Chain A
Amino acid sequence: MFKIENATGGYGKTTIIRNISMEINQGEIVALLGRNGVGKSTLMKYITGLIPAAGGQVLIEGKPAPTAPAKRAKMGLGYVPQGRFVFPRMTVIENIAVAAAANGHDAKQAIDRSLEDFPILVQKANDLAGGLSGGQQQILALARALATQPQVLLLDEPTEGVQPSIIDEMSGILKRINKELGIAIVIAEQNLDFCLSIAERAYIMEKGSIRIEIDREKLRADKHLQQELLGV
């Protein structure tokens, strides 16, 4: 349902990712693994349309995705960036409301749903998002992406700088939304354990390309591969 064909791109004249192809099926959880600097975040930005494509394309339900990131979001692409990028001078509920409203969904319903799904946000509902802790911001960024009612959710290093208890909570939430809403999830991560706990298969990147596609059990068993490509 969601496909990337020969993705090539980078920043300015520097090409970072080359000829990357991958496919994500309906309701699937896929990990995108690799060491620091292999191009995971760049690929994520390529998929969202935040960096221009030097080559290749993104297909959503068989149709080429439009160039503008906003139009891709409306076609069902949700994005939680590395570093979260919540809107700092907006309240928690405004962060959620604006995401819902921008896609023509009812803001009030989205807020109610988010606060139900993420009780950790209830107490902070009317606080400015910039004042939340890293873990809370991560949850908010996730809630914001879900408020757009995506079909595919892209998560870029969701566990970075987040305390273990919240990581556990997050993996529970991701499994649940994946199951209940059938949302496909792509997670770019360095945290192998987190990925093994939720993803069914993984693409492993090296130097801007996909080195190998592997399912969870094989990856879990292959310590040599883990060592070589992920340094763990």
Chain B
Amino acid sequence: MELDYLMTVILSSLSSASILLIATIGLAVVYGLMGVINLAHGEFLMVGAYSALTATQIGIPYPLAIPFAIMVTMLIGAIVECLIIRKLYGRIFDTMLATWGLGMVFNQGAVLLFGTVSPGIGMPQYSLTIGQYSLAIYPLIMIAVAILMLAFVYFLMTKTVYGMKARASIQAPQMAQAIGIESSNVNTLTFAIGCGLAGFAGAILLPIIPATPSMGLFFAVKGFLTVVVAGPVALTGSAVTALGLGGGSSITASFLTSVVGDVFFFLMTALLLWLYPLGISSKWRRKL
């Protein structure tokens, strides 16, 4: 029976870590490939959630609502890049301030459009029974979703011409231009992809985390810290960090309380940043 309990703790912790990772990948892509910290990332997630919710409300089945949410967020992301981010490259604090402000606008926009309370959509009511414990299936599926999402982004960034251009543009920006890479187009696409990943996260997590205008904040803080702790090898670094910090805080929370779980998260973050000021991956020899 103790073993059963341990199993459920491990599975649900893995699932929380996966949810954190799903919510963070877009942020990691934008930071890792553009050097921009998008503090409106959480709000893009919220936009994705509301897009999916609205789509289901007008009768589009949920599986189709997800690509719809991705399209909406990618489009908004591309517009934001062209109008705001593009003018602020290399000015990391200015971009943070600008995206933070943008997040507020989105947040208030959502309040005006949808009000502060919105109906959730039902979670598929399947569950997994381990001994006397029972776990909802949907959050467990998120483990697979996180793995697929990582694999997709890794493939996109390492095996495609676009991915090579995007990595070249962040690693030696002037040189990338000098060999013929139109970095501004690449950056627009990268930012749009980052926002699209946030939109996907908002939509896929909708059954677990209902859409509210301020839902972005919850992810913004932890996602931001995950990406900063991860460092320059953004994707692998974020996966490891999300697993360690997210999983660790979830395990702590299940044995103690959720407050202690959060304390674990923030203390570990502080400790890791003290040990690795440039991120845990600063010395890794990896592509992404």
A residues lining the B interface (CB < 8 Å) = 48, 50, 68-70, 73-74, 78-79, 81, 85-91, 94-95, 97-99, 101-103, 107, 128, 130-131, 144-145, 148
Q: Is the CB of B164 within 8 A of A79?
A: no
How distant is the Cα of A128 from the Cα of B158 in the complex, in angstroms?
13
With A81-B175, A128-B285 as given contacts, are A70 and B165 in contact (CB-CB < 8 Å)?
no
Interface residues of B in 166-182 (CB under 8 A from A): 167-168, 171-172, 174-182
Min distance, Cβ B275 to any Cβ of chain A, angstroms:
22
Residue B58 at the chain A interface, CB threshold 8 Å: no
User: Chain B nearest CB: distance from A143 CB in Å?
Assistant: 11
The chain B residue with its CB closest to the CB of A144 is: B179
Other A-B pairs, 18, CB within 8 Å; known A87-B167, A87-B175: A50-B174, A68-B177, A70-B177, A70-B178, A73-B179, A73-B180, A74-B180, A79-B175, A79-B178, A85-B174, A87-B172, A98-B165, A98-B181, A101-B164, A101-B165, A102-B161, A102-B165, A128-B285
Q: Give the Cβ gap from B221 to chain A, nearest Cβ, in Å.
A: 28
Provide the residues of chain A in CB contact with B167, threshold 8 Å. 87, 89-90, 94
Contact at A98–B164, with CB atoms within 8 Å?
yes
Task: Give the docked Cα–Cα distance between A98 and B233 (Å).
Answer: 19
With a cutoff of 8 Å between Cβ atoms, the chain B residues found around residue A85 in the complex are 172, 174-175
A–B pairs, 9, beta carbons within 8 Å:
A70-B181, A81-B178, A85-B172, A87-B167, A87-B171, A94-B167, A102-B179, A103-B180, A148-B179
How distant is the Cα of A145 from the Cα of B286 in the complex, in angstroms? 24
Asked whether A90 and B168 contact (CB < 8 A) given A85-B174, A98-B161, A101-B161, the answer is yes
Known: A87-B168, A90-B171, A107-B161. A73 touches B178 (CB 8 A): yes
**Among the interface residues A81, A90, A107, A131, which one has the most CB atoms of the partner chain B within 10 A?**
A90
A128 to B172, CA, bound (A): 14
The bracket for how many chain B residues form the interface is: 20 to 34
Also in contact, A50 and B178, with CB within 8 A (given A98-B161, A101-B164, A107-B161): yes
What's the least CB distance linking B179 to chain A, in Å? 4
Look across to chain A and name the residue whose beta carbon is closest to the beta carbon of B284: A89
Give A91's nearest chain B residue, CB to CB.
Answer: B287
Distance (Å) between the CB of B65 and the closest chain A CB? 35
A131 lies within 8 A of B174 (CB): no
Q: How many A-B residue pairs have CB under 8 A?
A: 84
B183 on the interface (CB 8 Å rule)?
A: yes
Contacts of A86 in B (CB 8 A): 172
Chain B residue at smallest Cβ distance from A95: B168
CB nearest to A77 among chain B residues? B178
How far apart are A10's CB and chain B's nearest CB, in angstroms? 16
When the two chains form their complex, are residues A98 and B177 in contact, meaning their CB atoms are under 8 A apart? no
Q: Which residues of B contact A78 (CB under 8 A)?
A: 179
Q: Say which residue of A69, A94, A97, A102 sits within 8 Å of B174 (CB atoms).
A: A69
For A131, list chain B residues within 8 Å (CB).
285
- Neighbouring B residues of A99 by C-beta, 8 Å: 179-180
Q: Which residues of A contact B180 (CB under 8 A)?
A: 70, 73-74, 99, 102-103, 148
Which B residues are in CB contact (< 8 Å) with A145? 179
- Closest residue of chain B to A98 (Cβ to Cβ) is B164
With a cutoff of 8 Å between Cβ atoms, the chain B residues found around residue A81 in the complex are: 174-175, 178
CB distance from B189 to the nearest CB of A (A): 14
Given the complex, which residues of B lie within 8 Å of A69, measured CB to CB? 174, 177-178
Question: What chain B residues lie within 8 Å of A128 (beta carbons)?
Answer: 285, 287
Query: Nearest Cβ distance between residue B107 and chain A, in whole angstroms?
Result: 35
B235-288 contacts to A (CB < 8 Å): 285-288
Q: Are A97 and B164 in contact (CB under 8 A)?
A: yes
Question: B175 near A70 (CB under 8 angstroms)?
Answer: no
Contact B168 A98 (CB under 8 A): yes
How long is the Cα–Cα vector from A74 to B183 in the complex, in angstroms? Answer: 14
Chain B residues, CB < 8 A from A88: 171-172
Q: Which residue of B is nearest A75, CB measured? A: B180
Contact across chains for B178 and A48 when beta carbons are under 8 A apart: yes
A89 to B175, CA, bound (A): 14
Residues of A within 8 A of B288 (CB): 89
Rounded to whole angstroms, the CA-CA distance of A91 and B285 in the bound complex is 11
Separation of A69 and B168 alpha carbons in the complex (Å): 15
Give the CA-CA distance A79 to B165 in the complex, in Å: 17
User: Cα distance A148–B179 when bound, in Å?
Assistant: 7
Roughly how many angstroms separate A74 CA and B161 CA in the complex, as a whole number? 17
Chain A residues within an 8 Å CB radius of B287: 89-91, 128
Bound together, the chains give a CA A91 to CA B182 distance in angstroms of 21
CB-based nearest B residue for A45: B174
> How far does the alpha carbon of A101 sit from the alpha carbon of B167 in the complex, in Å?
14
